[in-house]
Amino acid sequence: MTLTERQQQILRAFVIYSQPYQSTVSNMWSRPEVVDYLKAFLVLQIISQGNPARHRRYLFDLTEDVAVLLEAQARASVMWKREQAFSLRKLGFRLMALVETLREQEGFASVTCAALAYVSEAGGDFLGAVEAAARLRWWLRAVDAQDHADVLPTRLWIRDDHDPAGLSPITLFMSTYHD
């Protein structure tokens, strides 16, 4: 299967994003864990897109391209690849609904309360999670305001280029809930 230019760009971004994982395995595309990394990559891309309602078509296409990338690159049975690609598509569609909900005041409050309850029950760093949620809220507002003022070009996210530590509020928020 030949990848389109856009799919090749996504592949390059994913390879950079997954470098810590790649350094521990000989061939990541032959391992089932690659799906977890693709899902985390897709989460980062969809959550990081400013004003997702305006860029819905891009996000749908991106989700499809990530699924196609898995089908093209993974070294596994056709059935396994199809099941995992379906799972990626389903995740992408659910995330798009979630990110639009996060943009609403009540939606953000509801999602944050649920996430904080999860962190509390799991014995996680509750105060750290509260701070991460506040940073996420600030970041979402800032990027959405910037996109409303002047439509931002869509891009593939790997890290926050202006953060010397490479940790944007988005990646900090995600790591709070996925540890």
**Tell me: the pLDDT tens digits for 40-82?**
899 888 888 888 888 899 999 999 999 999 999 988 899 999 9
Q: Give the count of alpha carbons within 13 A of 93, CB side only.
A: 7
Q: Domain limits at 98?
A: 5-178
pTM for the full predicted model: 0.76
Task: Say what the pLDDT of residue 143 is.
Answer: 82
Q: How far apart are CA 18 and CA 28, in angstroms?
A: 9
Cα–Cα distance for residue pair 160/175, rounded to 1 Å = 14
Q: How many domains does the chain have?
A: 1
